[in-house]
Amino acid sequence: MQKWLNGLIVVSSIALYGCAGAGSTTSGAQQRQLQSLQLFAADDTPRFSLYVACTSDSVNCVNVGNGVFAWARDHDVTVHNVDSGDPAFTATASRAAEIALPYRVAIDYRPSVAPGYSASSYKQSSESFAPTVGYRAVISVFQAATGKLLMRSPVRNQQAADHGKTSNPYVRSQMIELLDSLEPSAKDSR
């Protein structure tokens, strides 16, 4: 019985590791769809306003916001930190000042950090394990002038932090990686 349980744990760990890797946050189809919208012009100027809502019980959204604002500053994108109930997430026209740009991108971002566990974690132990850092998000792209929904795509990512490291750098880098996926060619050129 013990060998079977150990085998199950190993197989499950391998499967979860494959799912939880730090790879791309968007699938190939999602990347192509985002690329087809041309959120950035040929000269890399943004063609959208960005709205981000962060909701979490385990992560300080200030860290996420700092990453968002740093990315937006680097890409010359106008960003708004909003609640998930903001009208930016609905099929309504953008504010008059933002209609000059063809798109409104709204990201409902839900980061999480879970403590690391082992197969024997039910016992009290002084041993510590690396946390798992991840998120679930929904990227919505609207036509700014009309509010027409052009794309809505759920994305997620999860990875184990390095042992002994804090989760904050992972939270920030995952957010920036997600934002970089808005324009795959811009990410590849860096």
Residue 3 lies in a domain: no
Whole-number pLDDT of residue 184: 56
Residue 7 lies in a domain: no
* Cα separation of the two ends of the chain: 51
Q: What is the CATH number of the domain that holds 105?
A: 3.40.50
CB neighbourhood size of 12 (10 A):
11
Q: Which residues are CB-contacts of 151 (< 8 A; sequence separation ≥ 6)? A: 33, 34, 37, 139, 140, 141
Report the alpha-carbon distance of residue 152 to residue 124 in Å, rounded.
44
Q: Which domain holds residue 177?
A: 24-188
pTM of the predicted model as reported, rounded to 2 decimal places: 0.76
Residue 174 lies in a domain: yes
Q: How many domains does the chain have?
A: 1
Residue 162 lies in a domain: yes
Residue 158 lies in a domain: yes
Report the alpha-carbon distance of residue 118 to residue 130 in Å, rounded.
10
Residue 151 lies in a domain: yes
Report the alpha-carbon distance of residue 18 to residue 88 in Å, rounded.
34
Find out whether 141 and 151 touch, Cβ atoms under 8 Å.
yes
Residue 98 lies in a domain: yes
Q: In b/e form, how buried is each residue of 146-183, taking b as 16+ CB within 10 angstroms?
A: eeeeeeebebebbbbbeeeeebbebbbebbbbbbbbbb
Residue 16 lies in a domain: no
Whole-number pLDDT of residue 131: 83
Q: Which of 143, 152, 170 is nearest to 59 (CA)?
A: 170
Specify the length of the chain in residues.
190
Find out whether 141 and 104 touch, Cβ atoms under 8 Å.
yes
Digitized pLDDT (tens) for each residue of the chain, 190 residues in all: 444 333 333 333 323 333 344 444 566 666 676 677 889 998 999 999 999 999 998 888 998 999 999 999 999 999 999 999 999 999 988 887 788 899 999 999 999 988 776 555 555 555 667 788 999 999 999 999 999 999 999 999 998 888 777 788 888 899 999 999 887 564 444 4
